[in-house]
């Protein structure tokens, strides 16, 4: 800074001697004064340091506050109480084409089922294996895995989904394990309605470690007996 000032002072003197460029001289004097003033302020560096320190401290503070709020949000979501049911009751059958009907003449379940599936999906295969083993008839809606237009009617984004006719409504069951648990519970004790059984599998939402909202269906590996073990059965021989 001092060096620059010296140069300007020299040029200023030169112009004064020259005598003809008064205007330029004035300008240079102003510049010269500016440099002088600057060079005479040793406190400026200190204030720059202060500013840098404040900016760093502010950055750290803001970062910590953000991380804290994220963490708090994540924990809060995990601790959410059960907030919705995994089942819904549709007023009408979705506007989709049945791809295939699987019929067992010996079926005595009384159930009217429609399975939304991808043929190659292992979770769908699990549900089909269950229905076939117990000889329960069902219709299949093959979902296009790319466009998934057969699933436009639901917010649930996965297959299998099972629709069960209940009077003039349709009970929607999501998740292969929940479907099998609900149907097994029903077949073992038909006195409790399937809708009532299905409400024992509530869904909770939570945030995973990557901050993604996920849904989990509770109780899906359990059978629901509402306190009544079917006649002639024990918990042990059911399981
Ligand atoms: N937990 C679910 C998993 C179902 C699942 O992940 N299904 C896959 C197909 S194998 C799916 O639909 N993924 C979403 C997609 O394809 O868009 C279940 O057991 O039903």
pLDDT at 150 over 90: yes
On average, the pLDDT of the chain sits at 80
Residues spanned by the domain of 137: 88-237
> What is the whole-number distance in angstroms between the Cα of residue 187 and the centre of ligand 1?
25
The encoded tokens of residue 131 equal 């229905």
Number of structural domains found in the chain: 1
* pLDDT tens, position by position, 175-204: 999 999 999 999 988 888 899 999 889 888
Take atom 14 of ligand 1 and give the residue whose Cα is closest. Answer: 158
Ligand 1 pocket mutation, candidates 158, 183, 218, criterion most atoms within 8 A of CB: 158
**32: in domain:** no
> What is the whole-number distance in angstroms between the Cα of residue 15 and the centre of ligand 1?
85
User: Which among 132, 136, 99 has a CA at the least distance from the CA of 118?
Assistant: 99
Q: What is the pTM of this model?
A: 0.67
135 Rama sector, left if φ>0, alpha if ψ -120 to 50, beta otherwise: left
- The atom number, within ligand 1, closest to the CA of 122 reads 10
- The atom number, within ligand 1, closest to the CA of 145 reads 16
User: Is the pLDDT higher at 16 or at 76?
Assistant: 76
Task: Give residues (CB < 6 A) around ligand 1.
Answer: 118, 121, 123, 145, 157-160, 175-177
**181: in domain:** yes
Omega cis (within 30) before 160: yes
| Per-residue model confidence (pLDDT) at position 16 | 42
> What is the whole-number distance in angstroms between the Cα of residue 19 and the centre of ligand 1?
90
Take atom 12 of ligand 1 and give the residue whose Cα is closest. Answer: 158
> What is the whole-number distance in angstroms between the Cα of residue 157 and the centre of ligand 1?
8
Cα–Cα distance for residue pair 164/90, rounded to 1 Å: 10
Take atom 2 of ligand 1 and give the residue whose Cα is closest. Answer: 175
Cα–Cα distance for residue pair 229/99, rounded to 1 Å: 38
* pLDDT tens, position by position, 40-68: 555 667 788 889 999 999 999 898 888 88
Identify whether the C-beta of residue 95 lies closer than 8 Å to the C-beta of residue 138: no
Instruction: State the CATH number of the domain containing residue 214.
Output: 3.40.30.10
Locus of tokens 């299905």: 198
Write out the DSSP string of 190-207.
TTS-HHHHHTTSEEEEEE
Q: CA 165 from chain center: how many Å?
A: 31
**4: in domain:** no
Cα–Cα distance for residue pair 32/40, rounded to 1 Å: 12
| Per-residue model confidence (pLDDT) at position 68 | 80
Q: CA 31 from chain center: how many Å?
A: 61
- The atom number, within ligand 1, closest to the CA of 175 reads 20
**33: in domain:** no
Cα–Cα distance for residue pair 61/225, rounded to 1 Å: 54
**169: in domain:** yes
> What is the whole-number distance in angstroms between the Cα of residue 146 and the centre of ligand 1?
13
Q: How confident is the model at residue 234 (pLDDT cuts 50, 70, 90)?
A: confident
**99: in domain:** yes
**42: in domain:** no
User: Which among 216, 211, 191 has a CA at the least distance from the CA of 201?
Assistant: 216
């Amino acid at each position: 800074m001092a060096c620059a000032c010296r140069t300007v002072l020299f040029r200023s003197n030169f112009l004064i001697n020259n005598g003809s460029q008064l205007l330029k001289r004035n300008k240079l004097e102003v510049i010269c004064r500016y440099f002088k003033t600057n060079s005479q302020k040793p406190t400026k560096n200190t204030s720059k340091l202060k500013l840098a320190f404040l900016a760093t401290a502010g950055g750290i503070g803001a970062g910590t506050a953000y991380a804290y709020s994220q963490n708090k949000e994540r924990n809060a979501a995990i601790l959410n109480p059960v907030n919705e049911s995994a089942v819904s009751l549709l007023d009408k059958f979705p506007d989709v084409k049945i791809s295939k009907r699987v019929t067992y003449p010996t079926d005595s379940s009384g159930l009217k089922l429609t399975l939304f599936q991808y043929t190659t999906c292992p979770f769908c295969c699990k549900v089909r294996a269950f229905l076939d083993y117990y000889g329960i008839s069902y219709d299949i809606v093959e979902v296009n895995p790319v466009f998934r237009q057969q699933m436009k009617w639901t917010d649930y984004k996965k297959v299998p989904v099972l629709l069960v006719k209940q009077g003039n409504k349709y009970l929607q069951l999501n998740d292969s394990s929940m479907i099998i648990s609900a149907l097994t519970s029903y077949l073992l004790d038909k006195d409790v309605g399937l809708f009532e059984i299905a409400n024992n599998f509530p869904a909770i939402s939570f945030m995973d470690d990557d901050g993604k909202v996920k849904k989990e269906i509770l109780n899906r590996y359990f059978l629901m007996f509402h306190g009544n073990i079917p006649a002639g059965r024990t918990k042990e021989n059911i399981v």
